[in-house]
Amino acid sequence: MAVRVGSKVRAPVTIVEQGRARKRLDYLAAEEPLEIRLQAGGQTKTVAVTMRTPGADFELAAGFLYSEGVISERGLIRHIAYCIDPEVDAEQRYNIVNVGLHLPVLPALATLERHFYTTSACGVCGKASLEAIEMRGCSVLPAGPFVVPDVLTGLPEKLRAGQGLFDATGGLHASGLFSAAGELLCLREDVGRHNALDKVVGWALLNHKLPLSDCLLLVSGRASYEILQKSTVAGLPIVCALSAPSHLAVDVAREFGLTLVGFLRGERFTIYAGEERILIGG
């Protein structure tokens, strides 16, 4: 029987090695639903349900709402709390987050339509996706910061060193926020790569650090459209990934002036957009 321990679940497994089997307890990454509810003007409405790794739930909720255009600034948030409704099962209360807003009525939620129909399998229209970001008020990012290759190649080791849950489970994505000098500022892990980034953006929002115009981002997997969309909204000028970007991610980076780096491994990486921010010697 699996037993939940924080963000991990302890479960019995069978290890087979050289034809011999042995039983042991192993840690798995916890995956549970998080329901995000908005409250304003005496009304409550569920706006999203996402599968996530428990932990940094308030940051996830705040980052999701900001990245998806539901809120535009930290000052709109009155409070963030777990559900205390007595009609909700006690075990599920920590899977429901209420976000109270300083608004007389609930905001329009048309911006969330893309979130509910977009999947990596079906994709979305590229032109419509770029226009959706423009409608958020995002413009081309300004020049800088400028970094040398050694800063970028040093990021994966720092990200990996901070992945405590990955060490225990081997099954989590990570997003790491770094200064232009390569100092780790914030690292969050989750079973969903987009959730990990939302947690980072939520951390920045709640701590009044947006826009992230002097920072670098490293994600542990591939760079998808969603990753670039959320990075653009947060004002992140340099986005790096350990794996490849999608073609639409490259389109977003080029359209909005982000530097996009993929296959960042060892001393090698590939630049897909914004080469001018990386100071490459002759």
Q: Among all residues, which ones are annotated catalytic? A: 122
Strand partners, 50: 34
Which residues lie below 8 Å from residue 246, measured CB to CB, with a gap of 6+? 222, 223, 224, 225
The three-class DSSP label of residue 171 is coil
Give the gyration radius of the chain's Cα atoms.
Answer: 20
Amino acid at residue number 267: E
Render 27-85 in DSSP notation, one character per residue: EEE--EEEEEEEEETTEEEEEEEEEE-SSSHHHHHHHHHHHTTS--SGGGEEEEEE---
Contact status, residue 78 vs residue 100, Cβ threshold 8 Å: yes
- Structure letter (DSSP) for residue 245: B
Amino acid at residue number 18: Q
Among residues 213, 260, 252, the alpha carbon closest in space to that of 130 is found at 252
